[in-house]
Amino acid sequence: MRRRGGRRDYYRPTNTADMEFDHAGIATDDLDGLADRYGTLFDASVAHEEEFDGLRVAFLDLGNGYLELLEPLPDADGAIPRYLDEHGPGIHHLALRTADIETALDAAREAGVDPVDEEPRPGAWGHDVAFLHPASTGGVLVEFVEH
């Protein structure tokens, strides 16, 4: 469907209307330095830190969402080390908060979006997560986070 001005109306399932921005995942090789810089720049404190899946992870609280800093542990293998090798430090993904990740995944499939994760999996901070393939989302790796 087209609107005036040639813009396209995209299908938006009603069951995803309650999604909100949760965080931006940022790949870095210097978590402490970046946390200090963002803490000063944005007056953001570290809300949560952990080691998870071969990564040091820190969430900086912005008040209306988080910056998730992701630093590979020494000799780690996985998506973040590969991302850093190929692209260098920067935004890795955008995450949306949902109360029902299964419904969100079903709605994404119905909208023609290919998931990276067919089923939710454990993520940082004890939340279930699932990623959507960037080829289906305009080049952006999108993460659903169940709260």
Residue 16 pLDDT greater than 70, yes or no? no
Average pLDDT, the chain: 91
> What does residue 110 show for φ and ψ, rounded to 5 degrees?
-60, -30
Check residue 120 and give its pLDDT. Answer: 98
Kindly tell me the sign of the dihedral angle through the C-alpha atoms of 123, 127, 133, 134. Answer: negative
Q: Tens of pLDDT along 38-65?
A: 999 999 999 999 999 999 999 999 999 9
Residue 34 pLDDT greater than 70, yes or no? yes
**What are the residue boundaries of the structural domains of the chain, listed by start?**
19-146
- How far the first Cα of the chain sits from its last, in Å, is 33
DSSP for 9-40, please give it.
Answer: PPP--GGGTT-EEEEEEEE-S-HHHHHHHHHH
Assign 5 a pLDDT band (cuts: 50, 70, 90): very low
Residue range 19-146, CATH number: 3.10.180.10
